Structure 1
Amino acid sequence: MNAIETMPAVWLWIHIVAIAIATYALRISFISLFSYYEMPDGIEKHLNLVPPAVLAALAVPPIFYRDGGFYLSPLNPFLIAGLAAAIVAWRTESLIGTLVTGFLIYFVVVSVPVF
């Protein structure tokens, strides 16, 4: 038995609500703080780099790693779809086009049997 199975439902909901309140308080504190003060240019310049960094941190591991190791193979469907999506994103700058291309190429590559 793990901790969640032995924990009463009331305590589980208390923890969920407490985490939700803490998350909301943290977010609203920054919103209220920067509604009165202007953010310095240096910080704003660096914060513009956060979305691409988060996207890369979420997208790169599934593409290049499998079973706990680096997997760079021409048969890797994630790599093929990721490269196709990256090319479409670079050439068109279209989010929908990039997503559709990545999913479509992935499903085509997975569906085609390899000898």
Structure 2
Amino acid sequence: MDMTSGEIWLTIALVGIGTYLVRFSFIGIIGDREMPEWVLRHLRYTPVAVLPGLVAPLVLWPAATQGQPDPARLAAACAAFVVGYFSKNFIWSAAAGIGTLFLMLWVLG
């Protein structure tokens, strides 16, 4: 698909305006109002719902291995999950996952 320079800049501008309007709807319009308790209760689950959708493809079908499951990434995901479950601390969980990934990549070559 060939796009001219003007079409590319128009697309960038429209996407920028769209994302601005989506953010403004939350920050500018309802940002100074008290949100109902049921909305706040549901918003607490947003990271828990989004994060697995972002991480699962990177663990199960990594591009680095042409989509084949990789023992190093599976071990890192398991280590991050276990440490996160018991410590309830994202920093320790991420550090365990990163450390395990680097160690497993070094061990497995």
Do they fold alike, i.e. is TM over 0.5?
Answer: yes
CA RMSD between the two structures = 2.3
Q: Does 1:103 align with 2:95?
A: no
In structure 1, the partner of 2:9 is 13
Q: Does 1:51 align with 2:17?
A: no
In structure 1, the partner of 2:21 is 25
TM-score under structure 1 length normalisation: 0.76
Output the CA distance in 1 between the equivalents of 2:7 and 2:26: 29
Q: Does 1:61 align with 2:35?
A: no
Aligned residue pairs total 106
Output the CA distance in 2 between the equivalents of 1:65 and 1:95: 23
Residues 15-68 of structure 1: CA deviation (Å, up to 9, x unaligned): 101110111011101222223432222122111111111111111233234666
Do 2:60 and 2:67's aligned partners in 1 also have CA atoms closer than 8 Å?
no
Q: What secondary structure is seen at the aligned counterpart in 1 of 2:31? A: helix
The structure 2 residue matched to 1:94, chosen from 89, 95, 108, is 89
Distance 1:110 1:68, change over 3 A: closer
Output the CA distance in 1 between the equivalents of 2:42 and 2:100: 34
Greater than 3 Å deviation, 4+ residue runs: 64-69
Output the CA distance in 1 between the equivalents of 2:49 and 2:3: 37
In structure 2, the partner of 1:78 is 73
Percent sequence identity is 29
Q: Which has the larger radius of gyration?
A: 1
Q: Structure 1: where are the runs of 5+ without partners?
A: none
TM-score under structure 2 length normalisation: 0.80
Q: Structure 2: where are the runs of 5+ without partners?
A: none
In structure 2, the partner of 1:35 is 31
